[in-house]
Amino acid sequence: MPLIAVATLGGTISMAPVPGTGAVPRLGAAELIGALGDLPMDVLAESLAGIGSASLDFATLLRCRDWGLRQEADGFVVVQGTDTLEETAYFLDLCWPSEIPVVVTGAMRHAGLLSPDGPANLRGALTVAAAPRSRGRGALVTLNDDVHAARWVRKGHSNHLDAFTSAPAGPLGMVVEHAVHWFHPSPPRPSVLTGEDFGGLVPVVEAGLDDSGAVLAHVATQPGVRGIVLAATGVGHVSSGTADVVSRLVGSLPVVVASRTGAGPTLRSTYGFHGSESSLIAMGATMAGWLDARKSRILLHALLASGADREGIEREFRLRGDLD
């Protein structure tokens, strides 16, 4: 039987209610795996953390990745909260150096609620991790029987059971009767980013109505800021005032422009006004393409950790953010 390594980090899937407090992390790896009964694979599970996913950091994710690599298993499952699950998945997609599948899962309903989804999601993730055709696909996300690619998946609803979407690409596959049914072939994976220095800050600043650029200018001056992701309106547009700030920043900081809409890419050459995508590119900003602001932040962090220069950042965002 295949050997699947499972690292649990906490989150709703590990939570149970405490009277007068609410749900808190109480279930470790042994309890989560034990609740599944007999399995058609061997499982090596360990609790690496027991926190809400909003408190996860790069140090914990690096430790989790390294633990998974040391097990030399046939597949690796990471169990955590759903609040930052899409970011963890994309981090692993960028930094997982193995062909062995890594699958991230969690739950929308904790163990104290009716019909908790954690056991089914974990069982589905184990199925995906053990499937031979999962190899070479990078990081995957399995929830509610859907299998998503880390590049596309995002949490699209705060508490709905069917909270995760991969619009517009759609899920890669589905788990049916404890087997994976793939809808799409595996595309070639870009090179793995190997940097370890995730220190410093890469803040996300959102543009909006009556935006003078003052918030962006203030954030850029804070200690430790290594780059900025600008969640721009529409297809990558900002106000004239914000554009003026961007023009001053790009000489000293990488500025990546993503769309704040949550769906659709930034453009490159349709509009030409001051603050349009064309003008921001001419200033030296990098367009995120199809990557949203959250994924762009993870990619920029990983590139800076790997020592990428400005040309390298531009090249990698074109490679990973565009479809051609």
Q: What are phi and psi of 42, to 5 degrees?
A: -85, 140
pLDDT digits (tens, 9 = 90+) for 168-182: 999 999 999 999 999
In the set 8, 12, 242, 286, the catalytic residue is: 12
Rounded to an integer, what distance in angstroms lies between the CA atom of residue 176 and that of residue 123? Answer: 11
Contact at 8 Å (CB) between 93 and 138?
Answer: yes
Question: Are β-strands 42-51 and 3-10 bridged in parallel, bridged antiparallel, or unpaired?
Answer: parallel
C-alpha neighbours within 13 Å on the C-beta side of residue 241: 11
Rounded to an integer, what distance in angstroms lies between the CA atom of residue 127 and that of residue 246? Answer: 47
pLDDT over 90 percentage in the chain: 97
Q: Give the angle 52-225-139 at the CA atoms, nearest 5°.
A: 45
Rounded to an integer, what distance in angstroms lies between the CA atom of residue 82 and that of residue 151? Answer: 16
Task: Assess whether pLDDT exceeds 70 at residue 142.
Answer: yes
pLDDT score recorded for residue 324: 58
pLDDT digits (tens, 9 = 90+) for 193-209: 999 999 999 999 999 99
Question: Of 11, 9, 13, which Cα lies nearest the Cα of 118?
Answer: 13
Domains, in order of start, for the chain: 3-182 (3.40.50.1170), 204-321 (3.40.50.40)
pLDDT digits (tens, 9 = 90+) for 208-224: 999 999 999 999 999 99
pLDDT score recorded for residue 132: 96
> How large is the average pLDDT for residues 219-242?
98
pLDDT score recorded for residue 224: 98
Cα 176 to the center of its chain, rounded Å? 25
- Catalytic residue flag (residue 127): no
pLDDT score recorded for residue 186: 82
How many C-beta atoms lie closer than 10 Å to residue 40's C-beta? Answer: 10
pLDDT digits (tens, 9 = 90+) for 88-111: 999 999 999 999 999 999 999 999
- pLDDT confidence bin for 188, thresholds 50/70/90: confident
pLDDT digits (tens, 9 = 90+) for 45-88: 999 999 999 999 999 999 999 999 999 999 999 999 999 999 99
> How large is the average pLDDT for residues 119-125?
98
pLDDT score recorded for residue 51: 97
Rounded to an integer, what distance in angstroms lies between the CA atom of residue 68 and that of residue 66? Answer: 5
Mean pLDDT of the chain: 97
